[in-house]
């Protein structure tokens, strides 16, 4: 097969099978930046995930590169200007993880509003004073969603029926048809919305505009004792301001699936080179970017991305493949 594709991160085998049906797949997982720079000119396409950074220098060196397949959503780790200039198509698989992330947000909303994590942590250190962990019913709380794209809308559909009120802010929203039946009230001013919310969940991409969107000013606009859920990107939150918001009680607790910087997810089980002040913070429930990491979502994402790569590299009108038995 003439088409050569370099795999830079692990994807579900169902996607690997599809890629192998039309191309030679070379395993480049673990390549250093220097090795990748030396090898990249041989490949027609790359398969990456959020942990791989594809910068301008790499794209300019990759003379044969036609497609970058990004298993998942978000392209802040790819130099999109360089890719566009070179005519390199970036193939995302944005829909496959919507339900997984939406379920994660639902789960965190319940976990933190019921103070289950604090009660669990307290009990583990022999503190059984249950009155200390008096939570709230989600059905009495107002939830605000920042960003109403695929995931924001998916979250609205799951959370809408379970909370007291659902509010949303997205000045650039393209398609809100999926919100029908979710009872969501749209706000045109973010700070006004934040003043009504008990729980705020972030679903914006990381851009120059959204970097540190959640800073001291946003936290000051929030209700005292709010819950923050961030499955977007760590950089959307100004993390030192979050520390202060914990200290002054503005934020009661936060579920953070991503930090700035994120750890190296492939390091050994006893990682010693990464430390982040929020991972061990008592008001933080941290998870290492697993919101979209269910096996169901990983499979769906890999199959969708591999089929799209096949369409761009080989056969534009072919029906989609799914070569592995369903899990
Ligand atoms: N934690 C995970 O596992 C995980 C998985 C998938 C996606 N994500 C993150 O979630 C983000 C959202 O994913 P998506 O698929 O819904 O993307 P999307 O592009 O469908 O939606 C993003 C929405 O954000 C809105 N937006 C942009 N700037 C805004 C601003 N300043 N204020 C309010 N809204 C704004 C856009 O109009 C758009 O509707 C991704 O960019 C990615 O960073 C995380």
Sheet holding 4-7, edge to edge: 24-27, 4-7, 45-48, 67-70, 89-92
pLDDT at 324: 67
CA angle 12, 15, 16 (to 5 degrees): 85
pLDDT at 325: 58
Q: Same domain, yes or no, for 134 and 74?
A: no
| Ligand 1 centroid distance, CA of 289 (Å) | 15
Band of pLDDT at residue 326, cut at 50, 70 and 90: low
Mean pLDDT of the chain: 94
| Ligand 1 centroid distance, CA of 34 (Å) | 31
In a domain, 16, yes or no: yes
Structural domain that includes position 67: 4-96+295-313
Atom of ligand 1 nearest to the CA of 172: 37
Q: Same domain, yes or no, for 78 and 203?
A: no
List, for residues 244-294, the tens digit of each pLDDT value. Answer: 999 999 999 999 999 999 998 877 788 788 999 999 999 999 999 999 999
Q: Same domain, yes or no, for 105 and 52?
A: no
pLDDT at 82: 98
210 Cβ below 6 A of ligand 1:
yes
Q: Same domain, yes or no, for 127 and 258?
A: yes
**How many other C-beta atoms are found inside a 10 Å radius of the C-beta of residue 306?**
33
Q: Whose alpha carbon is nearest atom 17 of ligand 1?
A: 149
278 Cβ below 6 A of ligand 1:
no
In a domain, 122, yes or no: yes
End-to-end CA distance of the chain: 29
In a domain, 325, yes or no: no
Percent of the chain with pLDDT over 90: 86
203 Cβ below 6 A of ligand 1:
yes
Mean pLDDT over residues 210-236, rounded? 98
pLDDT at 180: 87
Question: Which long-range CB contacts under 8 A does 207-215 form with residues at least 24 apart?
Answer: 207/76, 210/235, 210/236, 211/235, 211/236, 212/236, 212/237, 212/238, 212/241, 213/146, 213/237, 214/238, 214/241, 214/242, 215/241
pLDDT at 182: 84
147 Cβ below 6 A of ligand 1:
yes
Q: Whose alpha carbon is nearest atom 41 of ligand 1?
A: 205
């Amino acid at each position: 097969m003439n088409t050569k594709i370099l795999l830079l991160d692990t994807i579900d085998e169902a996607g690997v099978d599809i890629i192998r049906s039309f191309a030679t797949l070379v395993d480049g997982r673990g390549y250093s930046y220097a090795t990748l720079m030396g090898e990249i000119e041989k490949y027609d396409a790359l398969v990456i995930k959020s942990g791989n950074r594809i910068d301008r220098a790499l794209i300019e060196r990759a003379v044969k590169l036609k497609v970058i397949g990004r298993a998942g959503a978000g392209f802040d780790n790819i130099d999109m200007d360089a890719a566009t200039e070179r005519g390199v198509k970036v193939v995302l698989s944005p829909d496959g993880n919507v339900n997984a992330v939406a379920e994660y947000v639902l789960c965190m909303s319940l976990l933190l509003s019921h103070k289950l994590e604090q009660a669990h942590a307290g009990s583990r250190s022999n503190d059984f004073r249950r009155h200390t962990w008096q939570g709230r019913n989600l059905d009495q709380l107002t939830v605000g969603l920042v960003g109403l794209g695929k995931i924001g809308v998916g979250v609205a559909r799951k959370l809408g029926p379970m909370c007291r009120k659902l509010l949303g802010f997205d000045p650039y929203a393209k398609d809100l048809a999926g919100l029908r039946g979710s009872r969501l009230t749209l706000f045109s001013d973010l700070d006004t919305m934040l003043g009504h919310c008990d729980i705020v969940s972030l679903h914006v991409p990381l851009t120059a505009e959204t970097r540190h969107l959640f800073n001291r000013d946003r936290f000051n606009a929030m209700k005292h004792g709010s819950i923050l859920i961030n499955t977007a990107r760590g950089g959307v939150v100004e993390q030192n301001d979050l520390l202060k918001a914990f200290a002054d009680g503005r934020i009661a607790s936060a579920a953070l699936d991503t930090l700035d910087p994120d750890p190296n997810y492939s390091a050994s089980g006893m990682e010693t080179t990464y430390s982040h002040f929020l991972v061990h913070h008592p008001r933080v429930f941290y998870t290492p970017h697993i919101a979209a990491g269910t096996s169901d979502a990983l499979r769906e994402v890999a199959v969708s991305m591999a089929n799209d790569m096949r369409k761009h590299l080989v056969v534009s009108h072919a029906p989609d493949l799914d070569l592995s038995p369903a899990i």
